[in-house]
Structure 1
Amino acid sequence: MLQKNLLIAIANVVMVWSSFAIGAPNTSEQAHLLPDTGSEPLSLARAIELSLKNNQALAGLQAKAEALGAVPAQVGALPDPTLGLNALNLPTDSFNLDQEPMTQMQVSLNQSFPFPGKRNLKRAAAEYEASAAAKTVLDKRLQVVARVRGNWWQLAYLDRAIEIIRQNQDLMRDFVEIAQTKYKVGKGLQQDVLLAQLELSRLINRRLPLQGMRDASQAELNSLMNVDPIKPIQLPSLPADISLPELPTESVLLQRAVDTRPLLDVKRERIEAARTRLDLARKEYYPDFKLGAAYGFRDTSDSTGRTLPNLATFRLSVNLPIYSKAKQSKAVDQRSSEYFQYKYVFNESLRTIQTEIIRNHALYQISREQVSLYGTAIIPQARQTVAAMLSAYQVNEVDFLNVLNTQITLYNAQINYWEALSNAKQSLANLAASVGSEDLYE
């Protein structure tokens, strides 16, 4: 009776393993249905759409860009004129308007005029800053899309890894039953039972940190979409053919980044803004003008009884930059240093982007080769080895430890496959952002 139960248990393990192995990834069959989290499946395109629509950091930068877009017209306008109403030469003994000939009620209008060219320079500097802010929004979009892609593919990997471990837990429970049955009929060792139980505990231990990582990635993806961080995310089934394209050379991508990366345009605009402010500082050596006109009304007569005429006044004044050594010269020095600072920042940003491209290009190539290696060689070979070991174990030609080790090798390879695929997709997303494209051969 025990021998009959043993054969039934082994047959069940073979059936479970066969169905599990068929679902393992290879180059022609990679689709799988991820665990249901109790919510509608969230496609990558939908996640990107929601993030670009609802991301608060992106919305904040957009509001800032709109605010700076309103600045050029303001700084390029003339200062507001001043209107004055004056009572001149009032006698303090009576405050009578017709007592003294010089008493008058005066209306004045004054307008300041910056030296020619200053307003245009102020407007130009503000326009460069507004343009930089708008392009900062574009670069932030790239970063948001890259983070969404990265977290989405990280979730895909973790979901699949957790599912593989759960399936192997079921398989290990069957192995425990087989080992116990063989031990009872005198064809196995007690250590086989202990080994199977130990591996089952290891699987549980391995699943726990993966679940924690999934919760963290889910929270970050929800945050990018501006939804409740603990909202469950269910991913849809992946397509049967997940492409990992061949990329252009690093030099081609580096040149594309120079031409299209918004962050570099931001730095260029700020260099131009700094150069314009330097030109404006040099203009401050020249004086500004103030024109004014006034009209005085008199309600008095002279000694002959003749009504005195009203009075008109005209003014022209300029400021005198006589403290230029302490003010204007220092301002020029300041703006000159700021100009070079922005040039240094541009060069540093360019080097950082180049480093990011080279690093992510290399990481992508490594992960792409690993995906191919696991899908075409390691996993098929591991399947064949497990099948052979199970067949040999049924007739006592191999020991239980060998069967266990080959099964561990298989599920490790399957998990590593999905991790490599996720890493490749994340590197591709980061590479697209570094180059200046929301997607790169996706």
Structure 2
Amino acid sequence: MKPLQTLFLSSLLLGWSIAASAQSLTLSQAESLALQRDAEIARLQQLSLASEDMAVADGQLPDPSLSLGVLNLPTDSFATDQEPMTQFRVGLGQKFPAGDTLALTRRRGEQNAVAQRWMAQDRAHQVRREVRLAWLESLYWKQAQNVYRQDEGLFQQLQEVTQSLYSVGRSKQQDVLRADLELSQLNDRLINARQKEDEARARLARWVGPEAISRELNAALPDLNAPHVGALESALLAHPAVKALDAEVSVSATNAALAQQSYKPSWGVDVGYAWRDGENMDGSARADFFSAAVSVQLPLFTGQRQDRRVAAAARNQEASRSRRLEMLRMMDAEAQVAFSRWRQAQDRGRLYKEQITPQALSQADSALTSYQSDRADFAEVMRAYLTVQKLRLEQLRIDIDGRAALARLDYFFASESPIDSLSFKE
């Protein structure tokens, strides 16, 4: 095997086989940290618990009303026994909402809680996807630095070769200056890659926290198997984002049923007891009074109130269905794009591994041999070496992009909950 090919293969294996130290942060650890510290997941969990509490509360009858009063008290003496109609009254009243209003209101609260739980699950899958993408981007720039550092030794060797040949008059001073320039530009690319890694680490820290910056990242990547695209339809129907919209459609249907209840009368019951002071003309004590009444709210004029509410509820229900349909179409399109990118990355990766990179390595070795034999100029050697460097970086990028496509695709096939182990915060 030629020397440049040997160096390339060994450096590639070294780049993707970084040993995991005790202080390194694994991807699974990063995902757990991100899920635990994500404020949006906690917010949705609390909203779900709040909706459950409100569902129970809203399903209860209104509080009864208690009334206390003095009736028909004469203003000339304010004596309680002067007039026979003077009385001390205590009353108790209870309202009963129309039809099935209470049961439907409770059902709506429970459906809201279900929607928020599904939204929390969807948010957790989004967080895991974003952590993986930021992780992969950080690793790419880390590996790019490895490529530049490994090429630094090659470029230093080329610099020594040009100086050696120049000292015996077999090369031009321009070749020496070109070697110096390329080494300086390589250092510049290394600095730029380091900056890109810092930026990617900062984006990862947005999810993981300071652990993403203070600890070395473990290069071990998860085994993500590409799901079959034929199972996409059933996977999307079971996706948490779609399930949340299913719950919202149920909420809108319940709202429509609630609007129908406004055509039914609401009821009220009042009972009272009145105590009277004084005596009748025959000397007997005046009798106390008991009263009972039923009140009914009659929905007689429905054209501008009940009818409008029912129409509005029906339109909101149709809007919820349309939103769900649009979400399914959008997710299907995004999943198809991710699947296509993964397949293209697979094809390009094989092409680079089996043809393009070996051919470039052979060309670089041939160019160097020709230069040392005075059969090629130094510019051709540098072009060959820079081409190899570019192809190595492109091969790394293809591998990272393929894994990123799988991370995106995994989001659409979200069959398990990333937050099952995270308890709801009471």
TM over 0.5, shorter chain: yes
1:75 aligned partner: 58
Kindly state the Cα deviation for residue 147 of structure 1 after the two structures are TM-superposed. Answer: 0.7
* Contact kept in structure 2, 1:112 and 1:290, CA below 8 Å: yes
Q: 2:235 aligns with which of 256, 278, 303?
A: 256
CA distance in 1 between counterparts of 2:392 and 2:98 reads 73
SS state at 2:213 partner: coil
Q: 1:220 aligns with which of 192, 199, 203?
A: 203
- Is 1:275 equivalent to 2:250 in the alignment? no
1:285/1:243 CA distance change after superposition, 3 Å: closer
- Is 1:142 equivalent to 2:129 in the alignment? no
1:320 aligned partner: 298
* Contact kept in structure 1, 2:27 and 2:218, CA below 8 Å: no
* Contact kept in structure 2, 1:128 and 1:270, CA below 8 Å: yes
* Contact kept in structure 2, 1:146 and 1:438, CA below 8 Å: no
2:376 aligned partner: 398
SS state at 2:251 partner: helix
2:213 aligned partner: 231
Q: Please, what is the CA RMSD of the aligned residues?
A: 2.6
Aligned-residue identity in percent:
27
- Is 1:32 equivalent to 2:32 in the alignment? no
Kindly state the Cα deviation for residue 19 of structure 1 after the two structures are TM-superposed. Answer: 7.1
Which residues of 2 match residues 69-218 of structure 1 at below 5 A? Answer: 69-218=52-201
Letter in 2 for 1:251: G
Letter in 2 for 1:254: E
CA distance in 2 between counterparts of 1:378 and 1:438 reads 40
Which residues of 2 match residues 336-355 of structure 1 at below 5 A? Answer: 336-355=314-333
* Contact kept in structure 2, 1:223 and 1:229, CA below 8 Å: no
CA distance in 2 between counterparts of 1:300 and 1:19 reads 118
2:346 aligned partner: 368
SS state at 2:295 partner: strand
CA distance in 2 between counterparts of 1:34 and 1:215 reads 21
SS state at 2:12 partner: coil
CA distance in 1 between counterparts of 2:289 and 2:315 reads 52
Letter in 1 for 2:109: A
* Contact kept in structure 1, 2:260 and 2:310, CA below 8 Å: yes
Kindly state the Cα deviation for residue 322 of structure 1 after the two structures are TM-superposed. Answer: 3.3
CA distance in 1 between counterparts of 2:224 and 2:104 reads 50
1:243/1:325 CA distance change after superposition, 3 Å: closer
Structure 1 unmatched ranges of 5 or more: 1-13
1:412/1:86 CA distance change after superposition, 3 Å: same
1:20/1:98 CA distance change after superposition, 3 Å: farther
Letter in 2 for 1:394: Q
Kindly state the Cα deviation for residue 222 of structure 1 after the two structures are TM-superposed. Answer: 1.4
SS state at 2:290 partner: strand
Kindly state the Cα deviation for residue 51 of structure 1 after the two structures are TM-superposed. Answer: 1.1
CA distance in 1 between counterparts of 2:19 and 2:184 reads 23
CA distance in 2 between counterparts of 1:218 and 1:161 reads 15
* Contact kept in structure 2, 1:278 and 1:336, CA below 8 Å: yes
Kindly state the Cα deviation for residue 42 of structure 1 after the two structures are TM-superposed. Answer: 1.2
SS state at 1:24 partner: helix
Kindly state the Cα deviation for residue 314 of structure 1 after the two structures are TM-superposed. Answer: 0.7
CA distance in 1 between counterparts of 2:93 and 2:227 reads 66
SS state at 2:344 partner: helix
* Contact kept in structure 2, 1:34 and 1:160, CA below 8 Å: no
Kindly state the Cα deviation for residue 246 of structure 1 after the two structures are TM-superposed. Answer: 5.1
Moved more, 411-420 or 229-238: 229-238
* Contact kept in structure 2, 1:86 and 1:105, CA below 8 Å: yes
Letter in 2 for 1:23: S
* Contact kept in structure 2, 1:301 and 1:307, CA below 8 Å: yes
Moved more, 288-297 or 121-130: 121-130
1:18/1:216 CA distance change after superposition, 3 Å: same
CA distance in 2 between counterparts of 1:349 and 1:188 reads 66
Letter in 1 for 2:391: A
SS state at 2:336 partner: helix
* Contact kept in structure 2, 1:34 and 1:159, CA below 8 Å: no
2:264 aligned partner: 286
1:45 aligned partner: 28
Which residues of 2 match residues 376-387 of structure 1 at below 5 A? Answer: 376-387=354-365
SS state at 1:78 partner: coil
1:5 aligned partner: none
1:10 aligned partner: none
1:429/1:335 CA distance change after superposition, 3 Å: same
SS state at 2:217 partner: coil
CA distance in 2 between counterparts of 1:194 and 1:262 reads 61
1:62 aligned partner: 45
Kindly state the Cα deviation for residue 419 of structure 1 after the two structures are TM-superposed. Answer: 1.1
Moved more, 145-154 or 396-405: 396-405
Structure 2 unmatched ranges of 5 or more: 418-426
CA distance in 2 between counterparts of 1:53 and 1:229 reads 13
TM-score (norm 1): 0.87
CA distance in 2 between counterparts of 1:141 and 1:354 reads 20
How many residue pairs get aligned? The number is: 417
Kindly state the Cα deviation for residue 18 of structure 1 after the two structures are TM-superposed. Answer: 7.1
* Contact kept in structure 1, 2:99 and 2:265, CA below 8 Å: no
Kindly state the Cα deviation for residue 68 of structure 1 after the two structures are TM-superposed. Answer: 1.5
CA distance in 2 between counterparts of 1:108 and 1:286 reads 26
